[in-house]
Amino acid sequence: MLFPARYWPGLADGSITVAFRRQKRATVKAGGTLNSPGGLLSIDSVDAITEDDITDAEARAAGCADRNEILGALNPEGTLYRIRFRRIGDDPRRALRADDAIDDATLAALRKKLDKLDWAIPVLRVIRDNPQVVSTELAPQVGMERPDFKLKVRRLKALGLTESLLTGYLLSARGKAVLRALDA
């Protein structure tokens, strides 16, 4: 479940506690967690609802002015879900991204993971060489379609190696250290 940048401050301060999505199937489940730009969220409930179930108060808890704003933003097809959540801490990937002190054991573990992903090193290099460049321009440089490229960058982000920006990507401090060690 993705949140546009305008919702990130409300996620970070805990004032946004609900989201509405119309989807073929729910992409999160109650009891799970979700890393978001506003922090780590605990998913408390995921309920299929009707449009009539959305109140103005819930719309405000979703960071919108009223229910009409929510209804206007929903996908036209799929089941309507109300997802309730709460912020439980910072995104653990932030600390991981900042950690550039890569010891031999950490490097060996990362190398083992990256060796299974034949695309990983070329993607890291293209991001290093093209900071803040959009995926539309980066994907062809490594012979990928844009959606596949974006999914792969997310996998690298989960390892703390990349950062997604409003426009493009950067290698994290950890990503730079790992790539330097692997290229050595």
Same domain, 21 and 50: yes
Angle at 64 between CA 63 and CA 69, to 5 degrees: 150
- Is 75 exposed, middle or buried, given 0-12, 13-18 or 19+ CB atoms closer than 10 A? exposed
The one-digit pLDDT tens for each residue of the chain (184 residues) are 788 889 999 999 999 999 999 999 988 999 999 988 889 999 999 999 999 999 999 999 999 999 999 999 998 899 999 999 999 998 777 778 877 888 889 889 889 999 999 999 999 999 999 999 999 999 999 999 999 999 999 999 989 999 888 889 999 999 999 999 988 8
Residues 6+ apart with CB under 8 A from 46: 26, 28, 29, 30, 81, 82, 83, 84
In DSSP terms, 42 is beta-bridged to 33, 86
The reply to whether the predicted model has a pTM over 0.75 is no
Instruction: Please give the residue range of the domain that contains residue 77.
Output: 5-90
Same domain, 56 and 78: yes
Same domain, 147 and 122: yes
CATH of the domain at 98: 1.10.10.10
